[in-house]
Amino acid sequence: MSWLGAAAARRSTDRHPYYPRDVAIPHYQPNSTALPVLLGSFGGMLFVIVAASLILATRARRGLNRTDLALIGWFVLCRCLPTTEAVRISTQRTPS
């Protein structure tokens, strides 16, 4: 097989939606899970974490008003987003 044929075969198996299109991304596999499933599970995880933190905050300090609870929830949410991304990156398998 010529180098041109090999390049064409590689491009057909490693098709990806990223630019530049002609760059080969080894071991690329398109996502097989539907977007609503991904968003639902991620949103559910965040909801559980924020709800648990609000419950713990109200048990630790009675008398928190809605503004305090909203601020606590906001700060927990802002802290969870980079943390969940770091966990996802650290648990990815590297192709061998």
- Report the share of the chain in percent with pLDDT over 90: 42
- 21 lies in the same domain as 39: no
- 38 lies in the same domain as 19: no
**Contact in structure between 46 and 77 (CB atoms under 8 Å):** yes
When divided into structural domains, the chain yields a total of 2
- 25 lies in the same domain as 41: no
The rounded distance, in Å, linking the Cα atoms of 6 and 67 is 62
pLDDT tens-digit series, residues 17-51: 888 888 888 888 888 889 999 899 989 999 999 99
The rounded distance, in Å, linking the Cα atoms of 94 and 96 is 6
Residue 3 banded pLDDT, cuts 50, 70, 90: very low
The rounded distance, in Å, linking the Cα atoms of 51 and 53 is 5
pLDDT tens-digit series, residues 42-82: 899 999 999 999 999 999 999 999 999 999 999 999 988 87
- Which residues, 6 or more positions from 28, have their beta carbon under 8 angstroms from its beta carbon? 14, 15, 16
Q: Which domain holds residue 16?
A: 1-30
**Contact in structure between 88 and 41 (CB atoms under 8 Å):** no
- 38 lies in the same domain as 9: no
